[in-house]
Amino acid sequence: METEAADQRAEPADDVTLDDVVSLCKRRGFIFQSSEIYGGLGSTYDYGHYGVLLKNNVKDEWWRAMIGERDDIVALDSAILQHPRTWEASGHLEGFTDPLIDCRVCKMRFRADKLEDSSCGRKPSKRPGDTEACDLTDARQFNLMFETHMGAVRDDASAVYLRPETAQGIFVNFKNVLQFARRKPPFGIAQVGKSFRNEITPQNFIFRTREFEQMEMEFFVAPDEAERWFDYWLGERRRWYDELGIRPDHLRLRAHPTDELSHYSTATSDIEYLFPIGWSELEGIANRGDFDLRQHSEFSGEKLEYFDQQSGERYVPHVIEPAAGADRATLAFLVDAYDAEEVEGRQRTVLRLHPRLAPVKVAVLPLVSKEGMPERARALYEQLRRRLRAEYDEGGSIGKRYRRQDEIGTPWGVTVDGQTADDDTVTLRDRDSLEQVRVPIDGLADELVARLEAPWRSPKLEAG
Ligand code: GAP
Q: Which atom of ligand 1 is nearest to the CA of 270?
A: 14
| Residue 65 CA, ligand 1 centroid: distance in Å | 19
Identify the burial level of 399 via C-beta atoms within 10 angstroms of its C-beta, where 0-12 means exposed, 13-18 middle and 19 or more buried: exposed
| Residue 325 CA, ligand 1 centroid: distance in Å | 6
Closest residue by CA, ligand 1 atom 16 = 325
Q: Which atom of ligand 1 is nearest to the CA of 286?
A: 2
Q: Which atom of ligand 1 is nearest to the CA of 167?
A: 1
| Residue 452 CA, ligand 1 centroid: distance in Å | 30
For position 11, what pLDDT does the model report?
52
| Residue 165 CA, ligand 1 centroid: distance in Å | 8
| Residue 324 CA, ligand 1 centroid: distance in Å | 6
| Residue 214 CA, ligand 1 centroid: distance in Å | 7
Q: What is the pTM of this model?
A: 0.94
| Residue 209 CA, ligand 1 centroid: distance in Å | 10
pLDDT in tens, 306-318: 998 888 999 999 9
| Residue 27 CA, ligand 1 centroid: distance in Å | 27
Distances (CA, A) of 171 to 37, 159, 191, 413, 450: 40, 21, 11, 46, 40
| Residue 328 CA, ligand 1 centroid: distance in Å | 8
Residues of the chain with pLDDT under 50: 4-7, 9, 12
Q: Which atom of ligand 1 is nearest to the CA of 197?
A: 23
Q: Which atom of ligand 1 is nearest to the CA of 283?
A: 14
Closest residue by CA, ligand 1 atom 24 = 208
Q: Which atom of ligand 1 is nearest to the CA of 323?
A: 9
Q: Which atom of ligand 1 is nearest to the CA of 166?
A: 1
Q: Which atom of ligand 1 is nearest to the CA of 207?
A: 25
Report residues whose beta carbon is within 6 angstroms of any ligand 1 atom.
1-2, 165, 167, 197, 199, 208-209, 212, 214, 216, 281-284, 323-325, 327-328
Q: Which atom of ligand 1 is nearest to the CA of 206?
A: 25
Closest residue by CA, ligand 1 atom 14 = 283
Closest residue by CA, ligand 1 atom 15 = 325
**∠ CA 349-353-357 to the nearest 5 degrees?**
140
Distance CA(302)–CA(64), nearest Å, equals 33
For position 12, what pLDDT does the model report?
47
Closest residue by CA, ligand 1 atom 8 = 1
Taking the CB of residue 439, how many other CB atoms lie within 10 A of it?
15
Closest residue by CA, ligand 1 atom 17 = 325
| Residue 20 CA, ligand 1 centroid: distance in Å | 24
What is the sign, positive or negative, of the torsion defined by CA atoms of 118, 122, 124, 126? negative
Q: Ligand 1 pocket test: which of 111, 241, 328, 333 has the largest number of ligand atoms within 8 Å of its C-beta?
A: 328
How, if at all, do strands 187-196 and 73-76 pair? parallel
The residues facing 390 across adjacent strands are 362
Q: Ligand 1 pocket test: which of 1, 2, 199 has the largest number of ligand atoms within 8 Å of its C-beta?
A: 2
Closest residue by CA, ligand 1 atom 3 = 1
| Residue 2 CA, ligand 1 centroid: distance in Å | 6
| Residue 455 CA, ligand 1 centroid: distance in Å | 29
Burial 400-438 (b: 16+ CB within 10 A, else e): ebbbbbbbbbbbbbbbbbeebeeeebbbbbebbeeeeee
- Residue of 382, 390, 438 whose CA lies nearest to 410: 390
Q: Which atom of ligand 1 is nearest to the CA of 216?
A: 1
**∠ CA 45-77-157 to the nearest 5 degrees?**
80
